Structure 1
Amino acid sequence: MPKAIRKKLVVVGDGGCGKTSLLVVYQKQQFPVVMYLNLSFPSICISDAGTKYVPTVFENYISVVHLDNGKSVELALWDTAGQEDYDRLRPLSYPETDVVLICFAIDQPTSFSNIQDRWLPEVVHFCEKIPLILVGMKIDLRKNDKRISELNAVGHNLISYEEGNNLAREIGAKYFECSAMEKINVNGVIEAATLEAMKPRGLTKKLCSIL
């Protein structure tokens, strides 16, 4: 019986950019929704439909990814907390990582600038030579006139595909966009990451460290 192919994916990015929703939607094919106000969360988002929802705490899952080449991969999905309070704990997620998704929300300019200011330095430090995929989240907001107006009122715009793609080239990553809420390209992001994780990187794999 052939040995199972096992790979590990870690997702990083600012808090609230959509990391957890991406993984939950991929794993469960359902956007994380709660129908009550949970005061333990610092912020509650309201959807256009008026439903209260928050990103739930995502446990690490093993998901079997079936690729177009006929291979199946047992992919460990590791979510991480983006808040600075977790900066000392997050590195514990990095050892044995095969691919890293660095995420930002297209309606959160700070999450975009933090890719180079914060996330890339951290990932390169702990996961040298590991493949990177930059992911622009919440692309459904490109159709949301209210959110666009809110950003324009404070001198900002949604991050464009071109801006994301240019940054990806600059940092040596591939670029994808998706919407967890509308389930747009969620599977595509994970499948692309799996393919990157399977690419050979020499005879000896460079291990992520926590030093």
Structure 2
Amino acid sequence: MEGIIKKNVVIIGDGYVGKTSILNSIKQQKFEEQIPNLYDDFEYTQTIGDKQFKVKFIDTAGQEEFAMIRAFSYKDADLFLLCFAVDDRVSFENMETKWISDLKDYSDVPIILLGTKSDLRRTNRNCINKDEIVKFQKKINALFYAECSAKTLSGIDDLKKRILKFFSKERSCTIQ
């Protein structure tokens, strides 16, 4: 087995879209109400084939007053997890008007588009249409679009698997 491959996934998006809850669902496999934070991270190690990965998820504050602090985490990013809440049109629109421009100096770092609070699709008819989301995903050339719910844990394991699958294939220059 080769050495440990370290990768950093930086979680970005508006405040209150559920970034911290997603991180904690990945970490603890359970939902707890969260207080928004300035910075948090979590590492886990996973072996795929003959490769061992240490993936560090870095949760950043989405509020504008923390832009300078948040930017420090960008320089070490191997992947951006660009988040919006599926029931929040403003957080969706801010991806293009705020977050993509925030990443202009990191255009070589891949992006995964992540819709949070997917459990609300069952009760809220005003959620953002998936066709509109996929159109935006293609526009920004994101690797893929995924939805998850920290509250129900739906999509959390699949997201982790897809991220690891990307990292495991990355060295061969093949992106699925």
TM-score, normalized by length of structure 1?
0.74
1:61 to 42, 47, 60: 42
1:97-117 deviation line (CA, Å, top 9, x unaligned): 111000000111000000110
The 1:13/1:27 distance shift into structure 2, 3 A limit, reads same
Please identify which structure carries the higher strand content. Answer: 2
1:171 counterpart residue number:
140
1:135 counterpart residue number:
114
Structure 1 residue 162: deviation in Å? 1.6
Counterpart of 1:138, as a letter, is K
Structure 1 residue 56: deviation in Å? 5.1
Mapping 1:56-95, distance limit 5 Å: 57=37, 59-67=40-48, 69=49, 71-95=51-75
Counterpart of 2:92, as a letter, is F
2:88 to 99, 102, 108: 108
Counterpart of 2:66, as a letter, is Y
1:154 counterpart residue number:
none
CA contact (8 A) 1:65 1:191 kept: no
Separation (CA, whole Å) in 2 of partners of 1:4 and 1:103: 28
Q: CA RMSD in A?
A: 2.0
CA contact (8 A) 1:138 1:179 kept: yes
1:178-204 deviation line (CA, Å, top 9, x unaligned): 1111101112112222333441498xx
Q: How many residues align?
A: 170
Structure 1 residue 60: deviation in Å? 1.4
Separation (CA, whole Å) in 1 of partners of 2:36 and 2:25: 11
The 1:162/1:65 distance shift into structure 2, 3 A limit, reads farther
CA contact (8 A) 2:2 2:52 kept: no
Higher Cα Rg: structure 1 or 2?
1
1:67-115 deviation line (CA, Å, top 9, x unaligned): 4x56431101100000011011111111221110000001110000001
Mapping 1:1-211, distance limit 5 Å: 2-33=2-33, 54-55=34-35, 57=37, 59-67=40-48, 69=49, 71-125=51-105, 127-144=106-123, 147-148=124-125, 157-173=126-142, 174-198=144-168, 199-200=170-171
Separation (CA, whole Å) in 1 of partners of 2:172 and 2:108: 8
TM-score, normalized by length of structure 2?
0.87
